[in-house]
Structure 1
Amino acid sequence: MAEHKHGSMDISVQEATFNGFVKFTKNAVIVIIGVLILLALTGA
């Protein structure tokens, strides 16, 4: 079995995926809040 050295794995793909997920989630929350405010203002 190979020796594992902590911190030696390339995680750039995982970091990019996580950053994309965070960006998507942030944008989705902003859109949802905007829709809720619009619904509250129009009384629908």
Structure 2
Amino acid sequence: MKCKAKRQFEGTVVTLKNGRNAASGTCPVCGTKVMRILGKADVAAS
């Protein structure tokens, strides 16, 4: 069951098929896959 709460997670930066960058990882509480769309400033800081 997905907890659907906003949590910090350890992930990797991936590029989506439309060219946008996103962080992909797993939720530390429930273990489901979590994706966050990143802005240009977020990718530069990673």
- Bigger strand fraction: 2
TM-score (norm: length of structure 1): 0.17
The structure whose Rg is larger is 1
TM-score norm. by structure 2 comes to: 0.16
Which has a greater percent of helix? 1
